[in-house]
Amino acid sequence: MITCLAAICLSGAVAIDGDTLRLDSPGKNLRLRLWGIQAPEIKEAGGAEARHALAALVSDRPVACDLMDVDRYGRPVVRCHTDTVTDLSCEMVRQGHATDWRRYSGGAYQHCNRIVPAAAEELD
């Protein structure tokens, strides 16, 4: 069980894609961008698989998130965990569904990376 001491605590989070969560509540639709990673868009190769992987990580679990930033679209950029996953971004990278976006993460998820390091340089 998660004790929600984080900036944002979600119940019923839905994966929009491999690096975005949505929380629907009466009168609100909140989109949260996972900090420090880049996953393929839904229509890109691997996009549906990335969404499915993130959905499996948050399904039927409370998600606690710390606000890291706000992106240019006004979305909160967050670092999140569940009762079974200590960092959703790292887990998505570890599973091969996202890459460490060093431009924003400063290399925080490089240790989680399964891809060839040269391929990750495209995101710098």
**Strands 37-38, 99-100: parallel, antiparallel or unpaired by DSSP?**
antiparallel
Which residue in this structure is represented by tokens 């240019």? Answer: 72
pLDDT tens, residue by residue, 5-60: 456 777 778 999 999 999 866 677 789 999 999 999 999 999 999 999 999 999 98
Distances in Å between the Cα of 79 and the Cα atoms of 28, 30, 33 are 21, 15, 9
Region 104-110 average pLDDT: 89
Give ∠ CA 119-121-122 in degrees, rounded to 5.
80
pLDDT at residue 42 in the model: 93
The model carries a pTM of 0.83
Q: Does CATH place domain 8-123 in 2.40.50.90?
A: yes
pLDDT at residue 122 in the model: 54
Domain ranges of the chain: 8-123
pLDDT tens, residue by residue, 55-91: 999 998 888 899 999 999 988 999 999 999 999 999 9
User: What are residue 52's phi and psi, to 5 degrees?
Assistant: -60, -40
pLDDT at residue 119 in the model: 46
